[in-house]
Amino acid sequence: MKTKLLSIIESLGILCIGVALMAALGYAESGATEPVLGGSNTPATGAAGGATSEGASSQLEHCDESLGTMAVVEDQTAPWYGQLGQYKLGSTVPVLRMMIQQSNCFVVVERGRAMNNMMQERALEQSGEMREGSGFGKGQLVAADYTMSPSITFSQKGTGGVGGALGGLFGRVAGVVAGGLKSNEASTTLLLIDNRSGVQLAAAEGSAKNFDFNLVGGMFGGGAGGGAGAYTSTPEGKILTAAFMDSYNKLVRAVRNYKPQSVKGGLGTGGRLGVQGGQTPASKELQTNH
């Protein structure tokens, strides 16, 4: 009787600790907390049309006027892009383009696969197959002032567990519950390139983190909790979206206060590190001084 009573008390203790942990972590219906960037727990959502946005995150930076046109181009040969497949994720471009348009900081121009369709329409017009007045003549495409290049520098699911720490502090019961608590992290980088000069204007790194809380699996083991796997897993896409939003916010804040870098004697004309016998201004200055 005493053993049975102790077992009931222990089970109640597990549930109480579980509820407390869930409340402290802001437990969501999916069984995982939402990704957190800079204190926010909301990833990119909503829509954009022209300068108008719908349902944009309150944490996304916004500009009163656009700074120029922008194309988003990712390196699909990079190792990080190949790893997206294991999370069943595709291109990062659509979500980045939505963020950019929602922010009104840049006007997005198409430089992806839809360019093929754009050129196809022009080819049809030139072939004479289109109706008169279709208006696909030359000189209408808008130039991309800038290119944004994204990359994922780190992405890992289940990077840390707190079961051992809590178990050491509060005993076996807390350790069993917290054993199902795992942190997921991602870090991303955005580069902003000036298309006319090729100069990198800005760079920003962002990150996001959230927690999975596998309470059922932690309490009853893999056998009983196996059916809750999808319920307790946090989609990697939410983490990456939040990390990219963090990167983009930092980039916008940087370009708002933008001051161009300058090189004495002119940018791209040899720099300030002269060499003996060279023809750059710095090299000639070096020879004169000697």
Q: How buried is residue 196: exposed, middle or buried, by Cβ count under 10 Å (0-12/13-18/19+)?
A: exposed
Examine the pLDDT at 211 and tell me if it is beyond 70: no
Do both 20 and 162 map to the same domain? yes
What pLDDT score was predicted for residue 265?
A: 78
Do both 47 and 98 map to the same domain? yes
Upper half-sphere CA count for residue 109 (Cβ side, 13 Å): 15
What pLDDT score was predicted for residue 16?
A: 52
255 within domain boundaries: yes
123 within domain boundaries: no
125 within domain boundaries: no
**238 or 268, greater pLDDT:** 268
What gap in Å lies between CA 145 and CA 104, rounded to an integer? 15
pLDDT bucket at 107, cuts 50 / 70 / 90? very high
pLDDT bucket at 185, cuts 50 / 70 / 90? confident
130 within domain boundaries: no
What pLDDT score was predicted for residue 52?
A: 81
Using one digit for the tens of pLDDT, what is the confidence trace for 155-181?
A: 665 555 444 433 444 444 444 444 555
DSSP 32: B
Tally of domains within the chain: 2
219-222's contacts with Cβ under 8 Å and 24+ in sequence apart are 219/14, 219/18, 219/176, 219/177, 219/180
What is the average per-residue pLDDT within 26-41?
51
Q: For 37-41, 122-126, 137-141, which range has the lowest pLDDT when averaged over its residues? A: 37-41
State the chain's mean pLDDT as an integer. 75
Examine the pLDDT at 226 and tell me if it is beyond 80: no
135 within domain boundaries: no
What pLDDT score was predicted for residue 28?
A: 44
Quick one: which of 255, 262, 265, 273 has its CA closest to 203? 255
Do both 73 and 209 map to the same domain? yes
User: Terminal CA-to-CA distance of the chain, rounded, Å?
Assistant: 98
- The whole-angstrom distance between residue 56's C-alpha and the CA centroid of its chain comes to 15
Do both 179 and 277 map to the same domain? no
Range of the domain at 200: 2-109+144-259
Quick one: which of 213, 276, 266 has its CA closest to 22? 213
Do both 209 and 286 map to the same domain? no
In percent, the amount of the chain with pLDDT more than 90 equals: 33
117 within domain boundaries: no
What pLDDT score was predicted for residue 192?
A: 97
| 4, 33, 179, 208 from 252: Cα distances, Å | 61, 27, 39, 18
What pLDDT score was predicted for residue 221?
A: 36
What gap in Å lies between CA 71 and CA 150, rounded to an integer? 11
User: Which of 88-102, 195-209, 258-272 holds the top average pLDDT?
Assistant: 195-209
165 within domain boundaries: yes
What is the average per-residue pLDDT within 138-166?
74
**88 or 144, greater pLDDT:** 144
Do both 191 and 285 map to the same domain? no
In percent, the amount of the chain with pLDDT more than 70 equals: 66
Q: Using CA atoms in the order 53, 57, 61, 62, what is the torsion angle rounded to 10 degrees?
A: 20
Q: Which residues contact 68 (CB under 8 A, 6 or more apart)?
A: 106, 107, 145, 146
Do both 289 and 149 map to the same domain? no
Do both 159 and 281 map to the same domain? no
120 within domain boundaries: no
What pLDDT score was predicted for residue 67?
A: 96
What pLDDT score was predicted for residue 202?
A: 96
Examine the pLDDT at 232 and tell me if it is beyond 50: no
What is the average per-residue pLDDT within 134-143?
89
What pLDDT score was predicted for residue 65?
A: 94
Do both 164 and 274 map to the same domain? no
Do both 39 and 159 map to the same domain? yes
What gap in Å lies between CA 90 and CA 72, rounded to an integer? 15
The residue type at 144: A
What pLDDT score was predicted for residue 2?
A: 55
Do both 15 and 76 map to the same domain? yes
Do both 158 and 290 map to the same domain? no
What pLDDT score was predicted for residue 166?
A: 38
